[in-house]
Amino acid sequence: MGKIYVDRYSDLWDHTVMRIRNAEQKCTVNGILDKEKFIKQMVTRLHRIQHIEKVHYAIKVLIERGHQDVAEIYDSRLVMELLADSL
């Protein structure tokens, strides 16, 4: 698996930021983020992602927006991909 570089000036970066902000808005009630609902929604999205490049972008955006716990879940997907590729 080659190295993937995240380009903050790309359309994919903008799209990823938009998707995560939309998820935050959907999971916010009375100005407070429902963390459990947000995590569940983001894990559902993780299952649907087909391209590993998108996982890398999502991790960077999640970390930037303060969602380290969700970023770690996404990172575990990358670990699983590496393990599957090495078999």
Query: Does residue 59 lie within any of the structural domains?
Result: yes
Residue 9 has pLDDT above 70, yes or no: yes
User: What is the chain's mean pLDDT, rounded?
Assistant: 95
Distance CA 19, CA 16 (A): 5
Query: Does residue 1 lie within any of the structural domains?
Result: no
Q: How many domains does the chain have?
A: 1
Query: Does residue 6 lie within any of the structural domains?
Result: no
* Interval 61-68 mean pLDDT: 98
Query: Does residue 5 lie within any of the structural domains?
Result: no
Supply the range of the domain harboring residue 46: 11-86
Residue 82 has pLDDT above 90, yes or no: no
What values do phi and psi take at 9, rounded to 5?
-105, 15
Query: Does residue 3 lie within any of the structural domains?
Result: no
Query: Does residue 58 lie within any of the structural domains?
Result: yes
Query: Does residue 26 lie within any of the structural domains?
Result: yes
Q: How far is CA 38 from CA 8, 24, 65, in A?
A: 23, 7, 13
Residues 37-53 have pLDDT tens digits of: 999 999 999 999 999 99
Distance CA 78, CA 86 (A): 12
Q: Return the percentage of the chain with pLDDT > 90, whole number.
A: 89
